[in-house]
Structure 1
């Protein structure tokens, strides 16, 4: 397994370097194009540096708490996780800011959709390969160093140990705490990158649209718009660095859920009639890593085919082709590996109903579920289908009906993915128990490298369109980039569906581990079963509060975007008023001021949502105890899944409804329908690019924090202390 893991990491990061060099080798275009691209690069680089400094302060505090309260191993793993996620985000963002101008120039030189698509995809693939490579690299280091070299994976170590502070009754399983620390490190970076980047990009985007398009009547990305550079910078920090960290965190969270669950099950079954053997334990921990390694190698093969063959002028078919190829190769390779890996094992005693096929079958269920959820997202967000066309058509009657139709579209889109997830959970549990559910989450993200590559190509194409507009290139260039961008909006919605779906499956596995940990000594009893009593007043109250948390979280994010957007609107208006020469093209606007407004707004507003995610389980746990937090996790997970699906798909429908009109329907650009569609798109911007992507991270951060801290607040909380006086 170690050989396959090393081979996958080396292949992924090696191909990322090759693709990076190919992208850098493309011509960057005219002097004007390069000047615009440089401004975008400097803005994105400056923001990410400032953001990482802010994150470093909070990370140090979390590091100290983990070292003192949990273990120094968990603290080190937290640093490794944060470093892997931050590095992947940084590499992806840097590559995207180099690729955007080269994509625009390729369209200028060749006027070929296929050739332009290839450069955009190769730029995005660096982000995807970095996500898969660094995620597995960090997890492999944690498992090998702490699990094997330091013995935390040895059966005799997978028992509960006293907390080193010496607090009576506080016990945990060391390996689960260590890998959970790694997951928490990835989650913290993902939360700040998604929240900070989302606030940044949508404040700039909304400011540019509301004043530039609606008031001044100038095209999108017009060089006369002071907010246009900030808008293009935001695409990189939010939709590239944020996206990469988000899906890396989802990928790691799915794998960690399996490792933690197996460790908890080994301990819980130790005194039962059918305890888990040491060999079974080793294989059940190793298989998710092997699955991830083979999935990553499959993605390397898929991406390489895009590198060596000639592209057609059908970007949707090309991108779907590489995704399906990677998925099929993953299914085949992991099936063979599963047959060899579990050969000779007593699978029935492990709770697997279809023998050696059980873990693999559950992962395949996850892959199929991810594809179906992606297709549902595509149906509701692509203007090739009726729902988005209906949103565009409603724009002929004004902005109110545009918004109403988009809301309906988003709400209708929720039930399909939910039914798929529910069916997947039931079937996976039938085949492989809770471990099977965790494997379904791993399967859904097993080809995350291609998913991220396809997603990242979208903002690169969007940036290329902005550069072509600002550099006043031939209109054919913008037509090519707009075509690629429209497909990118749909692929982004599909990627969000994968992230949300896997978060739901991983959260269920982590929740099961939480119940094991919360049960304490009872978990080792022969008759122990996973039960959380929903009619218990504490559990039910926690579920009610938990269901409300995603709405509070989302409201704060939307308000943060609105505050920053208002400042952006005021700045753009003031520049137009102070300098009439801007509109005539005689004077360049002050782009830097708008970049600084977006940066300041994002850095100021991103702290509270992140603190809600980290502190909610701790505050409620130390007040009300473990049963309340159990309900809190149930309520938050269910509520966040629905809200994330709704916001992602409604926002995607509004965005592509606008693009459908811009392609010449219902009056085209400048028509009344277009103006209404721009308002709908503006309403959807913070929903699809700030709220939706952040909610799946909220679920997993709360689950991991709860798992790490439950051994303490299950024993020591204010509610138990007060009720002890009433007995």
Structure 2
């Protein structure tokens, strides 16, 4: 192992000697061919992937076999199911046009050969379809499991254990589907394309990331617009409970939990899974040859086994909190993963680089053991997941001081709740980012070769992926439990001990959602960092045959154009977050006015003699969330194109670095501050500081409404944003090099592409900003605000 500094790593790679003015980034890797034993490994991986899908089907049958409770509970659940299905169907119809356009653009981009270009485009559709399928499954099953969880809680004997089991195994279905489809897709590409698989997988990962980003943004806007609108009118103005059936936004709120948290998070974690595999396979072929192409498939295959164990052993003991039981399952599955991955590394990988095939002579001369490097890297990733779980739980769980301090601040009003929650978010972002940075740097130090060090970082991401099955189960547990409590409260059919069970599970679900967001962010950073290395590799390959290469100082961060790229990358994260939060503000404003209108024009709603028009609020959230998708999507795709073709290869590298660094801090800050506000509200509702209906409760409701778009819209959407921008950069790298590096190519072409991208971004933002956040109560007022009816 080596403890070389980053600069020493660069020279150890043979990029350029000290004092050189030019740098050739090309990876001279011989062609990789797979033998019969290699194809057997891929076959076993595919069988494991299919077994994961089969296990998910078994869990579906178990969940659907549970009872559904009273007719009133079934009616409410059916309304939520219909609203969620209608929204996702409309969203997918909208995104189909976008997917076809991207497919055609990908087909036009250069590739090593026609087969890879066709495969990259086709598997882009596979990645997008898998991401959409997982999101839809998460929504479909959670909208059917929520009523079953509520019904289970009503049972006098074993209701708590059964309700928890149904909720967690619902998440287990989504988790097994996530790992099954992700692993199957990657293994299929390797089986068909062998050494050319990494380039084809760029399309697979891009499709998964792009759809996940749209589902995250759209679902996040929907769920938080309904949630904020319901809270501001119901809790604050009308002083009625959160899920009171008299509130016209309650059905939309429950729909939003499913299309945002279940569908969006499932798609998000799937794309993290797929993109990490993509980066690992790209970097693995350069570092470990054929072994590097297959070992990243073996590690998540082990994760399938441990996910099955984790789902089945999750059971709360007598007198034990549900959170303790879930955390214990996570720790056990993570420990098993570490042991099995260590064994796989020792058995499958050689003990010296000299025995690797399909790598450069420089890699062959590298010191150290591939098996040991891979073993340590994977364990770093697994340990990172464990540490993030503990740290995020500390900053967002009700039993720890940060949330209790936020809850106590409610005694002095909403302003101090906001301030204390912001403080928690900022502080937690620093600690979490430092831990993620330590994991990345620890993996980086495992080898003196830059190519091997980057692969080690990717393997750390693969190690974290071994826990994804349980992580998805933990995340889906949250909205299912939340919806179950909502159905119980709206129906009025769950009382006494059953209501207490659902309240406990809902509070636990808030914490598990926050924890999984933290782990998802860590996965995103590892994947983005590995993709950063893939970008360098793509640039290197594109430079092959171009005289002179690139000057060393064109990549130095103190080069003014590279520093400008860093600033632009950081700025895009802020702009993306602002657009997402502003979209929630606009949509929530419309919901507030609609719910107020119904209370005003139909007085019978408050005494229960008139049924609210739930469908109108669902329509408002659907319309506004789909309308807001275009701007952040165009920003994510076109900003790297504008920087790459406008400023060049080095500034685009700086752009990615700035986006990764700022995105890490911003995502953690938004997720944890929102989680702290949410659970501080739960703390007051449990009877602290005056309980429900008190001024302290109103203060925490305000904090929670501010935190809603933080933790469930902007924060989570940054994860796929980072991957989308990195993958776009990897995909356009050959074209950027071809149009900006050679001296004999006119700069007008690249400048025209950059200007066109900038104009589209500016136009989309201008259109978005014309939609005022001050939603008017009447068409005449709206005309005064916006300048048009």
Q: TM-score over 0.5 for the alignment?
A: yes
Distance 2:498 2:633 in 1: 40
Deviations 1:455-497 (A, max 9, x none): 1011000000000000012143332212111111111111111
Match of 1:487 among 508, 515, 522: 508
**Secondary structure, in 3 states, of the residue corresponding to 2:466?**
coil
Report how far residue 353 of structure 1 moved: 3.3
Counterpart of 1:658 in structure 2 is 681
**Unmatched 5+ stretches in structure 2:** 1-40, 111-116, 355-362, 448-452, 750-789
The yes-or-no answer on 1:261 pairing with 2:283 is: yes
The yes-or-no answer on 1:553 pairing with 2:593 is: no
Counterpart of 1:23 in structure 2 is 63
Counterpart of 1:299 in structure 2 is 307
The yes-or-no answer on 1:228 pairing with 2:250 is: yes
**Secondary structure, in 3 states, of the residue corresponding to 1:510?**
helix
**Secondary structure, in 3 states, of the residue corresponding to 2:138?**
helix
Match of 1:53 among 90, 93, 109: 93
**Secondary structure, in 3 states, of the residue corresponding to 1:584?**
coil
Counterpart of 1:244 in structure 2 is 266
Counterpart of 2:180 in structure 1 is 133
Q: Is the 8 A contact 1:113 1:313 kept in 2?
A: no
Q: Is the 8 A contact 1:517 1:523 kept in 2?
A: no
Distance 2:551 2:179 in 1: 36
**Secondary structure, in 3 states, of the residue corresponding to 2:436?**
helix
Classify 1:177/1:10 alpha carbon distance in 2 versus 1 (closer, same or farther; 3 Å): closer
Q: Number of aligned residue pairs: give it.
A: 685
Deviates more, 1:179-188 or 1:502-511: 502-511
Classify 1:346/1:530 alpha carbon distance in 2 versus 1 (closer, same or farther; 3 Å): farther
Deviations 1:119-140 (A, max 9, x none): 1111111111111111111111
Match of 1:709 among 728, 732, 735: 732
Counterpart of 2:691 in structure 1 is 668
**What is the aligned-residue RMSD (CA, Å)?**
2.3
Q: Is the 8 A contact 1:44 1:237 kept in 2?
A: yes
Match of 1:187 among 206, 209, 215: 209
Distance 2:365 2:128 in 1: 34
Distance 2:52 2:670 in 1: 33
Deviations 1:301-325 (A, max 9, x none): 2212338x97764201110121112
Classify 1:528/1:559 alpha carbon distance in 2 versus 1 (closer, same or farther; 3 Å): closer
Deviates more, 1:552-561 or 1:2-11: 2-11
Q: Is the 8 A contact 1:114 1:314 kept in 2?
A: no
Report how far residue 7 of structure 1 moved: 3.4
The yes-or-no answer on 1:79 pairing with 2:125 is: yes
Report how far residue 523 of structure 1 moved: 6.5
Distance 2:468 2:146 in 1: 22
Report how far residue 109 of structure 1 moved: 1.8
Q: Is the 8 A contact 1:209 1:678 kept in 2?
A: yes
Distance 1:529 1:344 in 2: 36
Q: Is the 8 A contact 2:50 2:184 kept in 1?
A: no
**Secondary structure, in 3 states, of the residue corresponding to 1:431?**
coil
The yes-or-no answer on 1:442 pairing with 2:465 is: no
Distance 1:78 1:341 in 2: 30
The yes-or-no answer on 1:571 pairing with 2:586 is: no
Match of 2:615 among 575, 592, 601: 592
Distance 1:568 1:351 in 2: 61
Deviates more, 1:40-49 or 1:334-343: 334-343
Q: How does 1:691-706 map to 2 (within 5 A)?
A: 691-706=714-729
The yes-or-no answer on 1:326 pairing with 2:333 is: yes
Report how far residue 522 of structure 1 moved: 5.5
Counterpart of 2:786 in structure 1 is none
Distance 1:716 1:606 in 2: 31
The yes-or-no answer on 1:513 pairing with 2:521 is: no
The yes-or-no answer on 1:35 pairing with 2:75 is: yes
Report how far residue 505 of structure 1 moved: 1.6
Deviations 1:392-425 (A, max 9, x none): 0001100000000000010010121122122212
Classify 1:504/1:523 alpha carbon distance in 2 versus 1 (closer, same or farther; 3 Å): farther
Deviates more, 1:710-719 or 1:430-439: 710-719
Distance 1:658 1:380 in 2: 14
Q: Is the 8 A contact 2:46 2:188 kept in 1?
A: no
Distance 2:405 2:445 in 1: 40
Classify 1:238/1:576 alpha carbon distance in 2 versus 1 (closer, same or farther; 3 Å): same
Distance 1:485 1:352 in 2: 52
**Unmatched 5+ stretches in structure 1:** 148-152, 154-173, 267-279
Report how far residue 188 of structure 1 moved: 1.2
Distance 1:350 1:138 in 2: 34
Classify 1:528/1:512 alpha carbon distance in 2 versus 1 (closer, same or farther; 3 Å): farther
Q: Is the 8 A contact 1:207 1:568 kept in 2?
A: yes
Deviations 1:441-462 (A, max 9, x none): 1112221010000110110000
Classify 1:527/1:713 alpha carbon distance in 2 versus 1 (closer, same or farther; 3 Å): closer
Report how far residue 349 of structure 1 moved: 3.4
Counterpart of 2:405 in structure 1 is 390
Counterpart of 2:648 in structure 1 is 625
Classify 1:488/1:466 alpha carbon distance in 2 versus 1 (closer, same or farther; 3 Å): same
Match of 1:282 among 275, 290, 303: 290
The yes-or-no answer on 1:100 pairing with 2:121 is: no
The yes-or-no answer on 1:378 pairing with 2:393 is: yes
The yes-or-no answer on 1:118 pairing with 2:139 is: no
Classify 1:292/1:574 alpha carbon distance in 2 versus 1 (closer, same or farther; 3 Å): same
Distance 1:32 1:228 in 2: 15
Distance 1:555 1:91 in 2: 30
Distance 1:56 1:246 in 2: 18
Q: Is the 8 A contact 2:134 2:174 kept in 1?
A: yes
Distance 1:689 1:225 in 2: 22
Q: How does 1:206-225 map to 2 (within 5 A)?
A: 206-225=228-247
Report how far residue 2 of structure 1 moved: 2.2
